[in-house]
Structure 1
Amino acid sequence: MEWTGRAVREMRRRAAAAVRTVRWAWAGPGRERDLMAQAGKAALAAWVAWAVAGWWLAAPMAFVAPWVAVVLVESTVYRSLAHGLQQVAAIAVGTVVATAVALVLPNTLLTMALVLPAVLLLGQWQRLGSQGVYAATGALFVLTGGQATVAASAARVGEAVFGAVVGVAVNALIRPPVYLRDTRAALRDAAREAEEILDAVADGLAAGEWNARQAGEWHERALRLGRLVEQARSAIGWSRESMRVNPWGRHRHGVAPPGKAYGDALAVLDHVAVHTTGVTRTVWESADHGGADHGGGADHGGDVARPAAAIADPYADFLHRTAHAVRLYSRTRFAPSGHDDSAAEALREAVGELHRALDTFRRRLPGAVADDPDALVTYGTLLAHAHRLADQLVQD
């Protein structure tokens, strides 16, 4: 009974997830709608291939056409075309080898024992890529489909070619997949997370009430920010591939392709993530080892000093302005039109304020740590991260 209850709950959970997916797909553009569209296109490609090869032409091995068509409705048009060529080549190789050996050896078991190792090795050929396994599939169609003849083998290869043409054509001509929206979303998510982390650290430093637990949470978020940047890098790769051999995708979506602007933004966000991680690590270490001392004196255990108010306040102001600059940078890079002039002007002004905040921090540093070498190490590290953050936002 307990097992039955768990099975029922799992079925309900999966059914609820399926309903949510359908609801999100119906509500508006997004990953769920893209997945449903690709599934519908794959089914359509298989139906068209079978209707022509199986129903109209009554081909002897008609199932090959819809089978190839359905697997070639890939995540990008370029991948459909590349994999289609590789798959047809692999099937042809396996079919030719199996047919040649079967015409010489009448024993199917012996033929299979000789052919399969050979075609599996041929399938490792680099030019066949991930589709090399279909060489063995083509050979098995020949060896398990009755008497092998040249005409039957040629029909199989022809049906595979037709299925590939249908799959690639459906994927390219009917709502070709484009991932520009996903790329912008991934970059915006990374930028937004960077803003929130910097603002949170700034608020904590300014209030002077942060502790090791809060600082540890900031550092964990900064580490996750690095993973968001990696996801954005992967999304840019998918976007670039989705634009290749895609006749309609760019114009239909009305967005700029992932060119230099996205590459520059990724580089900036990568540096922001690295240096944000450095800032949060330094703050965490100072909170963990600095105890409750807020006076800025040297820590008695010789550990990392906790920032004093005279330094924490201007540094918090700098982090706030950095978060604001990152927000404006995001607007200039990821606007639907490709560029936001008002945000670009605001970014230039924010960069000037960023430099002024950094100068204020630099001026206060020598007097605040004159007699405290441990604090000098901590503040010097924070100042180095501040310089690098500012440089990355300014250089563009």
Structure 2
Amino acid sequence: MAGEVSGRRTRPARTGRMARVRRWWGRALGSEGHERSTVLLIAKGTLAATIAWVISYHLLHAQSPAFAPFSAVLIMQVTVYQSLLQSSRYVGAVVAGVAVQAALGFLVGPDVPAFALVALVALTIGRWPGLGSQGSQVATAAFFAFSTYVSATSALDKITQLGQIILLVLIGCGIGVLVNVTVLPPLRYRSAEHGIRTLAHALCDLVSDIYPALRERGLDEERTGRWRARAEQTGELVTQARTGLRMARESLHYNPRRLFRRGRAHTYFEGYAAVLEALERTLRQVAALTRSLDKWSADEDRYRYGAFLASYADFLESLSWITRVFADLDEDRLGEQTSQLHQLADEAQNYRRGLAEQAERDDLPLTDPGRPYGVLVIEAARLMEEFQYTCDVLQHHVER
């Protein structure tokens, strides 16, 4: 009985894991994304390491052949630019470490005080900012070089082995960079789109929560406080979007695949950067709107000026349709989407004008600093300006 119960418990768990594995591979094979990037990086790293091992072990018969495949995998970065940058820093760190060992080894000898001095100098050099994240490799190379130096039997053998370390590192880095450049070098166009989509989704969700509450006049303090908190917590999304855009631009440097997209990449990235900045400003305007709503505590005003709130809800709903398009931004459909955005922006402008006319009909106390109406009307105008500018910027860069 216990075995049957145990079997029933473990079988669904295994089935669930297998289903997740199948979904993961389905995403990797079916579309661009993190899963496919992971598979490609592993495959390219395996290829580079294997080639480096064959050259270092079977052709050069090196005494420490692992240096070559280790170096090849270490600098197999996501972008070609990063591979070149990190490989140059890594080679510089290794050369510095080996040079420190060579100089101090021949001057001081292979004793413990010499090792301590090598460690001191190598760790100090590794702090140089120019080496970046590869600074620790100075000490690593120096320690391996010291081990090789101690085991060598003659001065010529010592020099040969130390030089071979540098040669193997150069071979590994060269193979790693060559594989990354020639075997599906990564382009990160979608990283820029993904960041804008995520930011637009957050904006769409927030606006879509606000306008039904305005229509229903459900502006309690708890709800407006949540809106304000959500609007003020979008800084991390902005940072992620900027990182995605930076990676997308960086992936073009020294990438041969950019030749097939000549004349498009620079224009699109300029447009995406402008859209990102505009969305960031729009989020700040929405945050200001939520602060104004959060300060509104006069219940009787909401019922007295219900028509104004309904007009404001219509205006925000029209903006939510614009954010939905940005949340589905796609390079392959930008022409169609910019036309759609232009039409939606015109509709939103009409709703914004209707809101201003409703405020005049209701004779709202727009100049009363104790009431939110004047601020809300101003925020609506500013929001519309930012949304219109965002749509115009994207259309301008698509038409270039």
What range is the shorter-chain TM-score in? Answer: 0.7 to 0.9
* CA offsets 1:174-232 (integer angstroms, 9 cap, x no match): 12122211321221232233223223311221122453444344334434544323221
* CA offsets 1:106-134 (integer angstroms, 9 cap, x no match): 23311111111112211222322221211
> Of residues 314, 317, 323 in structure 1, which corresponds to 2:314?
317
Q: Are 2:119 and 1:116 equivalent residues in the alignment?
A: yes
CA contact (8 A) 1:72 1:167 kept: yes
Measure, in 2, the Cα distance between the counterparts of 1:110 and 1:140.
14
> Of residues 287, 300, 303 in structure 2, which corresponds to 1:295?
303
Structure 2 counterpart of 1:305:
none
Measure, in 2, the Cα distance between the counterparts of 1:338 and 1:126.
43
Structure 2 counterpart of 1:167:
176
Measure, in 2, the Cα distance between the counterparts of 1:237 and 1:392.
23
Tell me: CA distance 1:226–1:134, structure 2 relative to 1, closer, same or farther (3 Å): closer
Measure, in 1, the Cα distance between the counterparts of 2:260 and 2:18.
37
**Per the alignment, in what secondary structure is the counterpart of residue 78 of structure 2?**
coil
Residue 234 of structure 1, CA deviation: 1.1
Amino acid at match of 1:380: G
Residue 241 of structure 1, CA deviation: 1.0
Residue 17 of structure 1, CA deviation: 6.1
Q: Are 2:279 and 1:269 equivalent residues in the alignment?
A: yes
Unaligned 5+ segments in structure 1 are 1-7, 297-307
* CA offsets 1:70-120 (integer angstroms, 9 cap, x no match): 111112110110110111111011101101211122233111111111122
CA contact (8 A) 2:198 2:327 kept: no
Tell me: CA distance 1:263–1:28, structure 2 relative to 1, closer, same or farther (3 Å): closer
**Per the alignment, in what secondary structure is the counterpart of residue 303 of structure 2?**
coil
Using the TM superposition, name which of 379-388 and 45-54 deviates more. Answer: 379-388
Structure 1 counterpart of 2:38:
35
Q: Are 2:283 and 1:278 equivalent residues in the alignment?
A: no
Tell me: CA distance 1:72–1:189, structure 2 relative to 1, closer, same or farther (3 Å): same
Aligned positions of 1:18-97 closer than 5 A: 20-97=23-100
Residue 316 of structure 1, CA deviation: 1.1
Amino acid at match of 2:54: A
Amino acid at match of 2:51: V
Q: Are 2:239 and 1:233 equivalent residues in the alignment?
A: no
Residue 252 of structure 1, CA deviation: 8.1
CA contact (8 A) 1:226 1:274 kept: no
Structure 1 counterpart of 2:384:
390
Measure, in 2, the Cα distance between the counterparts of 1:282 and 1:116.
61
Amino acid at match of 2:302: H
How many residues get paired?
A: 371
**Per the alignment, in what secondary structure is the counterpart of residue 308 of structure 2?**
helix
Query: Percent of aligned pairs with the same residue?
Result: 26
Amino acid at match of 2:53: W
Tell me: CA distance 1:247–1:372, structure 2 relative to 1, closer, same or farther (3 Å): closer
CA contact (8 A) 1:314 1:357 kept: yes
Tell me: CA distance 1:19–1:143, structure 2 relative to 1, closer, same or farther (3 Å): farther
Unaligned 5+ segments in structure 2 are 1-9, 393-400
Measure, in 1, the Cα distance between the counterparts of 2:231 and 2:321.
17
Tell me: CA distance 1:390–1:175, structure 2 relative to 1, closer, same or farther (3 Å): same
Measure, in 2, the Cα distance between the counterparts of 1:327 and 1:16.
31
Tell me: CA distance 1:18–1:325, structure 2 relative to 1, closer, same or farther (3 Å): closer
Amino acid at match of 2:355: F
Residue 245 of structure 1, CA deviation: 1.2
State TM-score, norm by structure 1.
0.83
Residue 325 of structure 1, CA deviation: 3.1
Measure, in 2, the Cα distance between the counterparts of 1:130 and 1:328.
40
* CA offsets 1:295-335 (integer angstroms, 9 cap, x no match): 34xxxxxxxxxxx313211111111122223345667xx33
**Per the alignment, in what secondary structure is the counterpart of residue 74 of structure 1?**
coil
Amino acid at match of 2:278: V
CA contact (8 A) 2:196 2:326 kept: no
> Of residues 326, 332, 336 in structure 1, which corresponds to 2:331?
336
Residue 20 of structure 1, CA deviation: 4.9
> Of residues 196, 199, 204 in structure 1, which corresponds to 2:205?
196
Structure 2 counterpart of 1:354:
348
